[in-house]
Amino acid sequence: MPDSIHFRCTFDVHAREGGGFPELVQEIIGWIRSKEGSALDLRAGRLLTSGTTRRGDGRAAVTVDSLSESELPDLWALRYEHQDAEFSPRRWSIDFGITRTDSRTWRLAVTIGNSLHQAYIGKEPGLLPVTPPRVIKTLVSSDKFKCCAGSTELRVDPFVVHVGKADRLAKAIEDPARSCPLVYVSRSRLTGEPLIDPIRLASTIVGAGVVFLAADAEIDEELEFLVPREFRSPNGMVRVYAPRVRFDIPQQAYRHRFFTRTQVEELTATEVEGQIARALARRYGWASIRSSLASFAVKK
């Protein structure tokens, strides 16, 4: 197991035209190939089922295993391990676990962790900021797949809530089938601008959550008729709504962490974004979707 979790997410991948299990695996292998070039033997044919390939210098390895009772694997797992390019005592492990739901849908779990060499003595490196692997952004943006966390379609950029459409935000917050956290970014009534960078945050938590952005400060007025006071986040506030919101239970509002305008200004936008990203992408408590295959156990 890694010493620390850097990023993790779980979501469902639905195949569109031109997409299927081989294409899903190829996206993962293609991402590894973009990092390793020809140093690893990454022929897709052997990596669809099982196999191990290592770099000659030992700096990276890929191991694949799968279980199948039909033509397509029911369970498929890949672990990509590599040495940190800038801090050699640190080694990264990236686990991809895929569980087949039906012939056109798979549940994908991604866990990225890092560890220091077991004999390392020296200054401990600082905590790294959250960074999702590029392959997650590629899958979420792909025309071949539709990526969802329950009823929520995932995106790399924010969902913009336009004037007259605030009911869509209220429904998304309270949707019982939503299984990932939803971050709502309102706008300052004074400047008309958000106090954090919603585009940067959406890109940072892709796969682990979604961001909704008010198109105008007037959205606050519309939400007064749609969302109980305890659950609102007006005037530049930023709020993280966990799954299973119940507007009819005011006492539940405390579960949905918020940052007031003053807090954002005091902490800085970067720190608020970092706190949200670390919570959503490193801790299980903010999402309700799980996978039966979330990590790779290497046989000894």
Q: Which residue has the tokens 């070039």?
A: 37
Residue 135 clears pLDDT 60, i.e. is over it: yes
Question: In sequence order, what are the residues at sequence separation of 6 or more whose Cβ sits closer than 8 angstroms to the Cβ of residue 288?
Answer: 150, 179, 180, 243, 244
Q: What is the mean pLDDT of the chain?
A: 92
pLDDT in tens, 189-228: 999 999 999 999 999 999 999 999 999 999 999 999 999 9
Q: What is residue 298's predicted lDDT score, i.e. its pLDDT?
A: 46
Average pLDDT over residues 135-147: 97
Res 295 pLDDT > 70: no
DSSP state of 230: G
Q: Is the pLDDT of residue 130 over 50?
A: yes
Structural contact between residues 8 and 208, judged by C-beta atoms closer than 8 angstroms: yes
pLDDT given for residue 296 in this prediction: 55
Which phi and psi angles does 221 have, rounded to 5°?
-70, -40
The DSSP letter of residue 150 is B
Most confident of 98-102, 122-126, 290-294: 98-102
The region of weakest confidence among 73-82, 83-92, 120-129 is 120-129
* 126 Cβ contact partners less than 8 Å away, ≥ 6 residues apart: none
pLDDT in tens, 145-162: 999 999 999 999 999 999
Coil/strand/helix, residue 286: helix
> Nearest-CA neighbor of 81 among 300, 299, 282, 296?
296
This prediction has a pTM of: 0.92
Mapped onto helix, strand or coil, the DSSP state of residue 59 is: coil
Confidence check: pLDDT of 299 > 50: no
How far is the C-alpha of 231 from the C-alpha of 256, rounded, in Å? 8
Q: Which residue has the tokens 């290592």?
A: 54
Residue 147: predicted pLDDT: 98
CB 237 within 8 A of CB 257: no
